[in-house]
């Protein structure tokens, strides 16, 4: 917090600042410029970290679990590199680049909005993913698409859950066309059977898991060319021998 409502990092090594305990950004902008801020503690963010022109990032680099307490917080460039993971409390927007380099980003029931594909130098999976609680009411992951997006727009949602104490990586891959204006596509998962399916006819083949896709803010909704969901065998009565789309 600063009375000028703006704090700039203007000189130093590439990793210019390490914070061992709590970082509070409650009023104003923390502008790291071309430098990185390494955070080993928790974050309270009620305003903005970074700008559109920043090339540095905020890196969660702790060795124990970290927490983001957000009140309409915005982070432009953010990296998670903590095998113990980072948990989100309340909704957060990552306005430029989110990178997952180590650990799970646990959204719990809250919403994460991003503007670019999630980056990683590793392979997404149960220990490197964005995790939700697995409720149908979770806010999940929302991705921004603008009217200038070229067809087709392919986007990976590297999502999973730890619902019912079972960790699963269950991503969704979305292929859109005819994106005429700006909007968001939101996906979350539910660790249960979809109640609108005819259970009598398909009882032996129902996944005990489903995905929700919603959109908002588009004047005209884009065309969904294809969606690929990847389930876990533990949610399939046939243990992977037969999958049915819901």
110-155 pLDDT per residue, tens: 999 999 999 999 999 999 999 999 999 999 999 999 988 888 889 9
Decide: helix, strand or coil at residue 164: helix
pLDDT of residue 67: 98
Which carries the bigger pLDDT value, residue 217 or residue 150?
217
pLDDT of residue 198: 67
42-92 pLDDT per residue, tens: 999 999 999 999 999 999 999 999 999 999 999 999 999 999 999 999 999
Buried b / exposed e over 209-233, threshold 16 CB at 10 Å, is: bbbeeeeeebeeebeeeeeebebbe
pLDDT of residue 199: 61
Residue at token pair 């948990």: 87
Alpha-carbon dihedral angle through residues 78, 37, 76, 158, given to the nearest 10 degrees: 0
In Å, how far are 108, 150, 215, 221 from 180, measured between CA atoms? 32, 10, 14, 8
CB atoms within 10 A of CB 131: 24
Query: Would you give the DSSP letter of residue 115?
Result: S
């Amino acid at each position: 917090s600063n009375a000028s409502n703006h704090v700039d990092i203007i000189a130093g090594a590439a990793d210019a600042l390490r914070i061992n305990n709590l970082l509070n950004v409650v009023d104003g902008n923390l502008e790291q410029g071309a430098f990185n801020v390494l955070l080993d503690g928790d974050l309270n963010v009620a305003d903005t970290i970074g700008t559109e022109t920043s090339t540095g990032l905020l890196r969660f680099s702790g060795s124990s679990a970290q927490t983001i307490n957000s009140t309409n917080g915005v982070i432009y460039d953010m990296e998670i590199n903590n095998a113990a993971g980072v948990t989100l409390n309340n909704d957060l927007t990552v306005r430029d680049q989110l990178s997952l380099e180590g650990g799970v980003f646990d959204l719990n029931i809250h919403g994460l909005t991003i503007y670019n594909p999630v980056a990683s130098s590793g392979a997404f999976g149960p220990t490197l993913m964005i995790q939700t609680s697995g409720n149908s009411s979770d806010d999940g992951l929302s991705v921004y698409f603008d009217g200038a997006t070229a067809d087709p727009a392919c986007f990976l949602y590297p999502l999973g859950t730890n619902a019912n104490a079972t960790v699963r990586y269950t991503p969704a891959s979305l292929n859109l066309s005819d994106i005429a204006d700006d909007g968001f596509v939101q996906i979350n998962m539910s660790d249960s059977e979809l109640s609108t399916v005819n259970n009598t006819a398909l009882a032996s083949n129902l996944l005990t898991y489903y995905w929700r896709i919603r959109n908002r803010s588009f004047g005209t909704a884009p065309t969904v060319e294809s969606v690929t969901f990847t389930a876990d065998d533990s949610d399939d009565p046939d243990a992977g021998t037969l999958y049915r789309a819901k």
